[in-house]
Chains A and B, each alone.
Chain A
Amino acid sequence: MFLSISLGFPLVICGLMIKYSRSGDPDYFRAAKTLAGVLALNFALGAVTGTLVEFGLVQAWPGSIFVIATFGLAPLVLELIAFVGEIVFLLWFVISLGKVKASYSASIMGLYFAFAALSGALITAVNSWLNAPWGTGSIASAIYPFLPTYGPASADPQALVKLKVALLDSLLSGGAPSQLIQNSTVARSIGLTLNDPFVALSSPYAGASILHNVMAGVIVGVSIALAGFACRYFRSGSSYHSKVIRVVLPIFLVLILIQPTLFGDMMGKAVVSYDPTKFALIEGASSSYSNPLVSFLAYGDPNHAIVGFDALRNATRSLGNLTVGQLASTVVPGLSAGAASNVSLAQVDLADLASAQANMGFVNAAYYAMIVAGILDVFSAVALASFAFRVPLLSRLAGLVFRPLGQRRTYLLLGLLAGSTSILASALGWAVREVGRKPWTVYGLIYPQEVVSPVAMNPVVMATFVGVFVSMAVVGIYGMYVFSTRPLKFLELLKRGAGEGS
């Protein structure tokens, strides 16, 4: 949510500043100033959750350090620039707001948004690599015949196989696989793994994910602003709030129409192409079946059968009696797979498919709940826009339906519907993306058990940590609420703090 506000509020602030620049109406400036304060507080809380994610990744899942040091290295190094840029331009905006021309302030906020979006894009690229390990070529498909080839072989197949065998061997012999990379001798024995450190950025899966996920974040942020002003309008009935809503609404409408028709479609096709188990989970396809509409959307061919888990299982037959040891020695002559030597690859595949299929109920339900939320989101945007502006035919229809409620109640109802369904659709989308990737952390290559920390967490320590985090999140959200509802008090306070009027 914090990230979404970081992405959505800048567009709203830009819109308000441009409107202020053209009209000279101080209400737009006042609204922009209030949102800027919330954005600054939100950024602080986003830094907290970002730190938690960052540390959580390397501390709770230390095996992920290998990913960060290889495929994630270039995107994350570039992300540093984006992160620092965000801070500098946000600070610059806050400091100069009201002191420079409104158009300059809008430009500075635009630069902030550019860096925030770049940051989101680069982090999404790393997450996308976990979903579709681009640059590993045919390694995953050699283990799982139902998986596609993931781009060029930018990674050394021998190094990846040595790593995978070492992880499996450690896992099967009761060790702690994630500790392997602590050993510099093991690290050297794996050797140079990746020839093109930028390969994760050239993934078509990452491209679709970046557009889809960044847009989702922007939509959630804008919808929170919309819902907030709708609530305030319901309480106050002030023209100030309705004016602001009329600035936010067109932005929200354009975004919410682009997302499903363009970026959602691109994302769906990427999942079909690169995450076959996730697609089968989404469509509840225990067995292959026909659905012309879904098939047309997914494959561009209404006659194409939706590939189910039966077909995926059938694909594993091509492995015959091949063992992990045999596959390993084929890629790296002389390599011993240790405890995994005699494990049948087909058995591994079938067990992993069964593990994935166990999540079908959740993923299928979550995906279609997301679709329903998205439809309601589009409805709320179109209905509110039709009610607030003159749109041929639609405005008459909206008037018939909502006029009995009155303008304030209608704004409240549709604003809250937009905010809640945006958040719901985004959260469910992420749940489908992450749970649908299981049983792998890196799709088709690495299991969660191979990267998790071996440190046993004391329940008291864990409860304390969670308690601290939840308390701070609640306090922070309350702070943003109070700030956004009582901005003048806040400014008075700051003036007193600056020694003015105290």
Chain B
Amino acid sequence: MNGTELLGFSVLGTAVLVHIIIVNITIGTGWISAVARFLGWRRQDPALESMGRKTFKILIVHELFSGVWGTIITIVLVGFFPTLAATVTDILFYPLLISLSSIIVRIPSIALFWYTWGKVRPSIHSAIGFVMALSGFAIPFGFRFIFAEITYPYAIGMALQGARDAALTAVFSNPLYVPLILHTWAGALSIGGFVVASFFAIRGNVDVKSAWTGLWHGVLFLGAQGAMGPFYLLSLASLAPLLYSNVLGLASASFDVLPLFVLKISMVAVLAATSILVWRRVKRGSGSVPRFALLLGPLAMAVAVAGEFINDGGRYPYMLLLGTGGLPPADFMNVYTSLSPEVIYGVLAVLFLFVGMFVAVVYYALNRRFLSSSPAV
């Protein structure tokens, strides 16, 4: 990779990482909120319903920002890697259509869920909540086919061999997809749970019952990751041997990410240990929330960032993997024009400045004003 290719690869990777962090929060909290609302109605438990409302506010302040980073990914992909974008929009037409339809359902259903709370029958409102939550899962359902295809180009390979029409539907049979999407969904649910647990450990928001609900969600799906993670890793062994070698730092590795993998596993261990300690203190909602429960959400997000970096950056120096080799970013890069590095770094600097401002606003919204006084959204 030369400097320009590395820059394009890095910019795309950075945008994906920022997007992934926020999206995991919104998918997980959306589900927990919908379930809490449903159970609150079925069990006639106002505390549970109130928890659902509060959890939903975490989603609201993050949702639009996650959408922005989705747009950034699209522009970077199309602008910097037009050949890959053209291939993806053609061969993965139907998966992308599923994601697009899901986005169209997701955003208005968030607004609808927000507004109709208390205004319509609980059964209808719960149904809206589940539409909102499930549409959140359906967005990565479509987009993760792109990641599956650039790691194991099943349909793209068929198209390159002339079977383009068959490839349009064969994309749904990519054998790497199932372990990848299960790993993704379980991760989002786990992160959502831990973020909720952390949120209700913040001074002023402390609520032991709500923290317990978040905690058990997080722990349950962290446990599921114990099966999904190895399932995905073993699938890589047979379908994407180069990425497998890179993850485990084998002799045939092109880019050794084993240290990061070890760090990820260590963070998972710390997360599990912290969860156990919090679990003991929370006592199924009848105990207290220790301050160190605040660590759960950030730790879970750090694990997700490490995992995504390993999956995406671990393919270096290739963009699309082909067994033990691959196609470099240069094969997909924009050869028609280029922006100077000064412009790109300038744009990135402003974007990160806005990320900082966004974090400050979210902190202000969730911890200082938004929940403690009359909300205005």
Taking Cβ atoms with an 8 Å cutoff, the residues of A that contact B are 33, 36-37, 40-41, 43-45, 47-48, 50-52, 54-55, 58-59, 62, 65-66, 68-70, 72-74, 76-81, 83-85, 87-88, 91-92, 94-99, 159, 178-179, 181-184, 187-188, 190-195, 197, 453-455, 461, 464-465, 468-469, 472-473, 475-476, 479, 482-483, 489-491, 493-500, 502
Contacts and interface: CB of A to CB of B under 8 A. Distances in A.
Interface string B76-114: 001110110111011001101100110111011111100
A94 B86 contact: no
Chain B: number of interface residues, binned into ranges = 35 or more
A431 to B, nearest CB: 24
Contacts of A190: 335-336
B86 A65 contact: yes
Contacts of A475: 108, 112
Interface in B116-169: 117-119, 168
Contacts of B334: 69, 73
A472 B105 contact: yes
How would you classify the secondary structure of chain A's contact residues: helix, strand, loop or mixed?
helix
Interface stretch (B188-196, B213-221, B297-305, B351-359): B351-359
Which 6 A-B pairs rank lowest in CB-CB distance, beginning with the nearest? A497-B53, A194-B337, A69-B82, A193-B336, A472-B108, A494-B375
Contacts of B83: 181-184, 187
B118 A48 contact: no
A159 B361 CA distance: 47
Contacts of B370: 95, 498
B71 interface: yes
Interface stretch (B59-67, B240-248, B310-318): B59-67
B251 interface: no
Nearest to A183: B83
Given A73-B334, A77-B344, 15 more contacts: A52-B100, A55-B96, A62-B90, A80-B68, A87-B65, A88-B358, A95-B376, A179-B90, A182-B83, A190-B336, A453-B90, A461-B97, A468-B101, A469-B104, A491-B375
A69 B115 contact: no
A50 to B, nearest CB: 8
B377 A59 contact: no
Interface in B23-76: 46, 50, 53-54, 56-57, 61, 63-65, 67-68, 70-72, 74-75
Contacts of B351: 80-81, 84
A41 B97 contact: no
Contacts of A40: 377
A44 B111 contact: yes
B273 interface: no
Contacts of B119: 489, 493
B354 A85 contact: yes
B224 interface: no
A65 B89 contact: yes
Given A78-B347, A81-B351, A472-B108, A87 B358 contact: yes
Contact of B100 (A59, A70, A187, A479): A59
Nearest to A97: B376
A88 to B, nearest CB: 5
B54 A47 contact: no
Given A51-B104, A76-B75, A497 B339 contact: no
A501 B309 CA distance: 45
B338 interface: yes
A95 B364 contact: yes
B71 A479 contact: no
B74 A58 contact: yes
10 contacts: A41-B111, A59-B93, A76-B79, A94-B377, A193-B337, A197-B338, A461-B97, A464-B101, A497-B54, A499-B54
A88 B354 CA distance: 7
A496 B71 CA distance: 34
Given A182-B86, A495-B374, A65 B78 contact: yes
Nearest to A491: B374
Contact of A483 (B61, B93, B115): B115
B71 A80 contact: yes
Contact of A47 (B53, B105, B107, B357): B107
A193 B374 CA distance: 55
Contacts of A454: 90
B291 interface: no
B280 interface: no
B203 interface: no
B168 A455 contact: yes
Contacts of A194: 336-337
Nearest to B344: A77
A73 B107 contact: no
B267 interface: no
A179 B86 contact: yes
Given A51-B103, A483-B115, A77 B86 contact: no
B354 A54 contact: no
B358 A468 contact: no
B54 A453 contact: no
B179 to A, nearest CB: 27
A70 B336 contact: yes
Given A73-B334, A91-B358, A193-B336, A45 B377 contact: no
A491 B377 CA distance: 8
B377 A192 contact: no
Given A87-B64, A187-B336, A482-B115, A77 B347 contact: yes
Contacts of B374: 98, 491, 494-495, 498, 500
Interface string B359-377: 0011011000111111111
Nearest to A462: B97
Given A62-B89, A475-B112, A73 B79 contact: yes
Given A83-B68, A94-B377, A453 B89 contact: yes
B199 interface: no
A387 to B, nearest CB: 33
